[in-house]
Chain A
Amino acid sequence: MPMNPIILLIEDDAQIRRFLRASLVTQGYELIEAGTGRDGLALAASRVPEIVLLDLGLPDMEGLDVIKQLRAWSSVPIIVLSARGQERDKVVNLDAGADDYLTKPFGIGELLARIRVALRKSLSAEENQQTPFYALGKIKVDFDRRIVVRGQDEVHLTPIEYKLLSVLLKNRGKVVTHRQLLKEVWGPSYVEQNAYLRIFILNLRRKLEDDPTRPQYLLTEPGIGYRLRDD
């Protein structure tokens, strides 16, 4: 039987630590806690956690520095916990290597979903890319034949739309920033062309969603990027 996954929580507020401890331990995770960035980095090195939950308002270090230092030697998934209204900080953190974020206050359900996505990624990073076939609700994608089907009908996607969808699929359940999407789909010289990205997302939604203004699959993360829903 595999050991319980270890989650490292770097958070200075004792109440939040208590609430997360109560919820995560009952869900079968092993939680290790750090109140400062320095302790957190030390624990990350000594205990090698499967996931790091990082609060941005640490007393001793900028969250961004924690991410950068951690990323220097580890690819452990990092989920950032931050307050609302700091969208630009979030984007910076995500582009610096954080995997996902949660806005405080958050429900435990949201947190568990994020943790599941991050764990799946860390456990089966390779296997995930080999999946030749993928289904999400009504939508089915056949990677080998490059065919997308919605319900019974084949959806014709332009090459860019297809590429956009496959990047989102590769990261399904996880937020992908505008910059990351533009870089992966169009290339590094297009990272500022947010408007094009929005146009293509709109077209993709028109082809895949029942109601493009209330998308079920292709979700917007305001000010940050997009997330493909993951069942």
Chain B
Amino acid sequence: MQPDPALEAATLSEEKQRPASRERLLVCLSPSPFSIPLIRATKRIADAQGSKWFALYVETPSHTRLSQKDQELVSQALYLAAKLGGHPVKVSGFRIGDEILAFARDNQVSKIFVGKPFERRWRRFLGVSLVDHLIWNCGPIDIFVISGEGEEAVLVGAKRLKPRPRLWEYLLAATGVALCTGLGFLLFPYLALTNLAMIYLLTVVIISSFLSPGPAIFSSLFSVSTFAFFFVPEYYSFVVANTEYAITLVVMLLVSLLVSGLTTRVRHQARVSRQQERQTAALYEMSQNLTAINSLEELLKVAAEQIDQIFDSRVTILMPDPEERLHILAGHPFSDDDVREGMVANWVFRHGHLAGAGTDTLTAVKGIYLPLMASQHVIGVLRLETTQPERIIEAGSLRLLEALATQLTLAIERENLSRQAQVARFQIEAEQMRNALLSSVSHDLRTPLTVIAGSASSLLEGEKNLDAGTKHELTQGIYEEAKRLDRLVHNLLEMSRLQSGEVKINMEWYVLEEVIGCALAQLDSQLQDHPVSISLPADLPLLQIDALLLERVMINLLENAMKYTPPGTPVEISGRLNDNELLMTITDQGPGLPVGQEERIFEKFYQVTPGSARGAGLGLTICRSIIEAHGGHIWAANRPEGGARFSFTIPLVEGAPIIDKAIPELEQDLADESDHPAH
């Protein structure tokens, strides 16, 4: 196919307008307030170019040693990036520069933005600054350094926590080396010097695999010096007699330092991967659980329970009503009614920013509040209350919490979308229904109207000529057709109300006999031609039903039987108790159903003989709607011995007021009263 030249030109000119639209920018974040202006600067550039941008934070082992405040700075920066339309990313690694470049290459980033103060805060590699490292290794990627003038004052507030290896760790390390030295004295007569050195190395490995980096380095230095002092000639002196020994010592020192460093890294890695595994598992489980759910309430409930479990905390999910007021939709209510809790929740909802206990914003409350950030706006607030909020913020759990919040947000959005889709589908269905209704109604309403109008006009015109019998017949016809019209209109209204969800099912404990009695009473005149027999179990409990709707089911089914069976044939209503449901059957002895149509008769506007004007074809559809709303089933079949059988089930609900038991209880009340007769 020839490319359309006009289209091509249009595409080209569009590209000229926004020449850099395929560019991807990356801004590197540090635990510094300067990250905020840096993000804003990047956002301005990205907007001007129409490009996609990432905000990257590399989490190194030292991240855990950052003060809570600095960690919060990082979260804030990532939130801001998300809010401004960027893609916030956190990766873990040791070498910040390498991680940045690896991410940039993986994501086809063309420009990297770093801040100037940034360099001062991050490690230097072998005397080379991070910026230098990036510039040297970036290949085709441009590096931009953005100045942080005027931000210095803010920086003073953020300081790094000193790693705090405790004294006992050093003592333990020293004890370990001392024990090793004791062992060395025992083995000294039997072992060569190099093998003794091995024992010391083993000690260093063991010590550094359990203790922090400080004591680990201390143990390597201490062991090399003890080894040199006690076992290397000259004994009991640091003087080394032989060059060979000197080499042994130097190698031993280097190896032990290297080993303690490596061991520390392995431990960090293990910790990170454990944490990641836990997070992945938690996220996976959450997403598994959330995908299967179809209602918002259930979704929020499951999410709240799950986050509860992961963090061993009390979770609350708040969402706004149409007037933007937050309400608790799932989870625990606030433990005490501190008005500040609600105020913080509202603040978080409006600002889309983490706050609450353990964070650096609005800390005077018990809960940690996270905004649920959808693509456009904040759709809710997640509240978490634990006894130690600092632990969640500090121990890297915040990241997991954020990820869970994101997942929850996605699930809520998905649910909202599917609800919108459902509404749209309902509207289409309602539209189709209205059309079908119009065509059906125009026919079904006209037939009785014709009879009524015709008979009435005959009566008017032939007032004098008609004999009494004919007059009576015409009047009777008018009356009956009017009744039919009324039933038809009633069914139509009922149908559309059921469909629109306007009918609220009003479940109460009912006596089935009464419901059947009402249906029979309503059909009294029609039932004269059909003997009806009823057999119900004697021990039938009260049913949890909407009596008016169930009465409608009985009326429609009985009316159906009247309509399609010859006069004089009996109709049988019977009930049977199964495990946890009541099975009702209405059996007639008419011609039965058209074979193969047993299901179709429940469809809207289906008529066995089209155009027969016997009804709008809605009666059974209504029955099905009602029975299904009660949690039961309805179906039809032909009986082998002839005639049709309609069956439906109603679930039995536990806790029905018991007929025999209720009586003595209440009679007791009256017994007190009957001493003072009411009359």
Residues in A lying within 8 Å of B, measured CB to CB? 84-85, 87, 105, 107, 143, 158-160, 163, 166, 186-187, 194-196, 198-203, 205, 212-215, 219-220, 222-223
Contact = CB atoms under 8 A, between A and B. Distances in A.
A202 B482 CA distance: 34
25 contacts: A84-B486, A84-B490, A85-B493, A85-B494, A87-B548, A105-B486, A143-B679, A158-B667, A159-B674, A160-B666, A163-B678, A166-B678, A195-B542, A195-B657, A195-B662, A196-B662, A198-B509, A199-B511, A212-B517, A213-B536, A214-B520, A215-B517, A219-B521, A220-B517, A222-B518
Contact of B657 (A84, A105, A199): A199
Contacts of A199: 511, 542, 657, 659, 662-663
A227 to B, nearest CB: 11
In order of increasing CB-CB distance, the 8 nearest A-B pairs are A195-B509, A195-B657, A159-B670, A198-B511, A222-B518, A223-B548, A159-B674, A213-B513
B25 interface: no
A85 B503 CA distance: 10
A199 B542 CA distance: 9
Given A198-B510, A214-B520, A215-B517, A166 B679 contact: yes
Contacts of A202: 511, 513-514, 659
A84 B657 CA distance: 30
Contact of A213 (B510, B516, B670): B516
B630 to A, nearest CB: 16
B551 interface: yes
B518 A220 contact: yes
Contacts of A107: 479
Interface string B638-679: 000000000000000000010100110011011101100011
B318 interface: no
B514 to A, nearest CB: 5
A159 B663 CA distance: 11
B521 A220 contact: yes
Contacts, number: 87
A104 to B, nearest CB: 9
B298 interface: no
B514 A196 contact: no
Contacts of B663: 158, 160, 199-200, 203
Nearest to B489: A84
B666 A186 contact: yes
B161 to A, nearest CB: 62
B508 A195 contact: yes
A116 to B, nearest CB: 21
A201 B514 contact: yes
B434 interface: no
B547 interface: yes
Contacts of A143: 679
Given A213-B520, A220-B518, 11 more contacts: A85-B490, A158-B663, A158-B670, A160-B667, A194-B509, A195-B662, A198-B510, A199-B511, A220-B521, A223-B547, A223-B548
Contacts of A203: 659, 663
B507 to A, nearest CB: 11
A190 to B, nearest CB: 9
Give the interface size class of chain B: 35 or more
A164 B514 CA distance: 17
Contacts of B255: none
A78 to B, nearest CB: 24
B254 interface: no
Nearest to B519: A222
Nearest to B508: A194
A176 B650 CA distance: 29
Among B482, B497, B514, B547, chain A packs the most CB atoms within 10 A around the CB of B514
A186 B509 contact: no
B534 interface: yes
Contacts of A186: 666, 669-670
A214 B667 CA distance: 27
A176 to B, nearest CB: 15
Contacts of A166: 678-679
A220 B518 CA distance: 6
Contacts of B479: 107
Contact of A105 (B482, B542, B548, B551): B482
B486 A159 contact: no
Contacts of B667: 158-160
A215 B517 CA distance: 7
B400 to A, nearest CB: 48
Nearest to A178: B508
B672 to A, nearest CB: 10
Nearest to B527: A214
Contacts of B666: 160, 186, 196
Contacts of B513: 202, 205, 212-213
A187 B479 CA distance: 44
A67 to B, nearest CB: 23
Contacts of A159: 667, 670-671, 673-674
A3 B520 CA distance: 41
Nearest to A85: B493
Contacts of A220: 514, 517-518, 521
Interface in B497-553: 497, 508-511, 513-514, 516-518, 520-521, 534, 536, 542, 547-548, 551
Among A198, A200, A219, chain B packs the most CB atoms within 10 A around the CB of A198
A119 B588 CA distance: 45
A175 to B, nearest CB: 13
Nearest to B532: A214
Contact of A196 (B486, B516, B657, B678): B657
B509 A214 contact: no
A85 B547 CA distance: 13
Contacts of A223: 547-548
A71 B113 CA distance: 80
Among B482, B490, B518, B551, chain A packs the most CB atoms within 10 A around the CB of B518
Contacts of B511: 198-199, 201-202
Nearest to B510: A198
Contacts of B547: 222-223
Contacts of A196: 657, 662, 666
B369 to A, nearest CB: 40
Nearest to A87: B548
B673 to A, nearest CB: 8
Contacts of B534: 213
A199 B508 CA distance: 13
Contact of B551 (A195, A212, A222): A222
A85 B497 contact: yes
B546 to A, nearest CB: 9
A228 to B, nearest CB: 14
Contacts of B486: 84, 105
A201 to B, nearest CB: 7
Interface string B216-240: 0000000000000000000000000
